[in-house]
Amino acid sequence: MLYRRGNVWWYRVKFAGLLTRESAKTNSKHIARRAEHRRRRELEEGYNGLSKREAPLSFDEAVDRWLGAKSVGWSSKTLRSEQTSAAHLKSILGRMFLGQITPEIISSYQRGRLNEGASPKTINLELGTIRAVLRRHRLWANLQPDVKMLPTVTDQGKALSLTEEQLLLGACTTSRSLALLPAVVIALNTGMRYREILNLRWQDIDSAKRTVVVSRSKTEAGTGRVIPLNDHAFTVLQLVAKRFPIRAPHHFVFASERYGVGGDNASAHAYNVDATAPLKSLKEAWEHAKRISRVNCRFHDLRHTAATRMLEGGAPLMVVATVLGWSASTAARMAKRYGHIGNAAQVEAVRHLMVDRVSAKSARRGHRKGHNDQALTLSEHRKLLKLSGSSGWTRTSNPPVNSRMLCH
């Protein structure tokens, strides 16, 4: 039913006992009548569970929609990684409809990427993107049993020797980057990750307690952990602080800056320093230091070196896990990875399982002298049984079982 309020037409629709009044927001009676019919049709279709059939969606468009919906909560690094995976997927699957993607097509994609030289880990990341897109449209469950991830080799990492460490630190001292040497020393002496170090602020450092708080980490277990600072780490942070005598708590320890050389000795000088922004990258300086020192390693291997040395020094695995910010599941995996380090501790642990026969004999002698904290010997137990009128045998449902067996 149509009616007017002023110059605007309204309609009233009664359906399933409910009365709906809505404005057509028009002064045309013809348009208002069409709006009334459309609204009634929507109510009828909704009541009967009928929905409008959507047009088939291409994988290209589905990936763009998925990235737009998920990228809000991602870090910039995660977004770049997903965009890279999406670019590879679009080049092959972009023009296909979602319903056309089958396990055979996914397997063919995996083989093709392997032939291109992509690593299994990279291909698995791309397959994770396919899974996320199809799961969003409720299409993954039927494919999952027939789709398998490629096997990957777990990177064991490398622990630097003392000689390699000295060569690397020596090369860092010659770098024109004033942040490289402090960052490497902190990584070796705290086990902090690369990005955790660059995101460090002065408010995260407690000079009185000589601790640092990792306020931002890639994992939930690593965020908020407190790491004690040893002499090397504390000293290098004091040296960095002298470069910034006027600093605020929210300023970054490794501030954004650019470097150049100048003067008669061509020494490094920093310019365009912005303490409110972190240093973006140490990649160029790091690669240069590795070339000079001829030490082949990753920056993450400095963290591996810290873990290895703490475990070799006798620190319990769970203590190392709290320092490095490992979750419970990661600590279980690391126990297997670093298990070879604890051989000496394992030998010492199983040594305690041996019974010292001499000590046991001395303990029994001590009991005869009146020490009540020792157990009765077998012969003494039999004597007590005879004094009590027992033959030494116990009535049981199994006759061969006697008291001497039960004593043990």
- Whole-number Å distance between alpha carbons of 180 and 259: 12
In this predicted structure, what is the pLDDT of residue 406?
46
Q: What is the dihedral of CA 381, 386, 388, 392, to 10 degrees?
A: 70
**Residue 82 confidence class, pLDDT cut points 50, 70, 90:** very high
**Residue 323 confidence class, pLDDT cut points 50, 70, 90:** very high
Q: Which of 46-55, 207-216, 383-392 is predicted with the least confidence, judged by mean pLDDT?
A: 383-392
In this predicted structure, what is the pLDDT of residue 52?
63
In this predicted structure, what is the pLDDT of residue 16?
81
In this predicted structure, what is the pLDDT of residue 186?
96
Structure tokens at 100: 């056309």
- Give the residue carrying structure tokens 């994988």: 59
Residue 253: Cβ-neighbour burial (10 angstroms; 0-12, 13-18, 19+): buried
Q: Which of 98-107, 233-242, 308-317 is predicted with the least confidence, judged by mean pLDDT?
A: 308-317
In this predicted structure, what is the pLDDT of residue 200?
95
User: Domains of the chain, with CATH numbers?
Assistant: 2-47 (no CATH), 59-146 (1.10.150), 162-332 (1.10.443.10)
pTM of the complete model beyond 0.95: no
Residue 3: strand pairing partners: 10
391 vs 226 pLDDT, higher one:
226
The residues, any chain, with a CB within 8 Å of residue 163's CB and separated by 6 or more, are none
In this predicted structure, what is the pLDDT of residue 170?
94
Average of per-residue pLDDT across 291-295: 95
How many angstroms separate the Cα of 59 from the Cα of each of 98, 108, 113, 122, 303?
5, 16, 18, 20, 40
**Residue 366 confidence class, pLDDT cut points 50, 70, 90:** low
Give the other-Cβ count within 10 Å of 345's Cβ.
13
**Which range is most confident: 95-99, 186-190, 277-281, 309-313?**
186-190
Instruction: Tell me what percent of the residues of the chain surpass a pLDDT of 70.
Output: 80
In this predicted structure, what is the pLDDT of residue 408?
45
Whether 172 contacts 180, CB under 8 Å: yes
In this predicted structure, what is the pLDDT of residue 404?
47
Tens digit of pLDDT for each residue in 144-165?
A: 999 999 998 766 678 899 999 9
Residue 374 has pLDDT above 60, yes or no: no
- Whole-number Å distance between alpha carbons of 300 and 302: 5
Whether 239 contacts 186, CB under 8 Å: no
**Residue 291 confidence class, pLDDT cut points 50, 70, 90:** very high
Between the two ends of the chain, the Cα-to-Cα distance in Å is: 95
In this predicted structure, what is the pLDDT of residue 363?
54
How many angstroms separate the Cα of 392 from the Cα of each of 51, 368, 382, 395?
86, 21, 6, 10
- Whole-number Å distance between alpha carbons of 320 and 335: 11
Average of per-residue pLDDT across 118-138: 93
Average of per-residue pLDDT across 258-267: 67
The type of residue at 258 is R
Nearest to 324 by CA among 300, 343, 295: 300
**Residue 60 confidence class, pLDDT cut points 50, 70, 90:** very high
- Whole-number Å distance between alpha carbons of 305 and 311: 10
**Residue 140 confidence class, pLDDT cut points 50, 70, 90:** very high
Average of per-residue pLDDT across 97-121: 93
In this predicted structure, what is the pLDDT of residue 122?
93
b/e per residue 71-84 (b: at least 16 CB within 10 A)? eeeeeeeeeeebee
Whether 11 contacts 42, CB under 8 Å: no
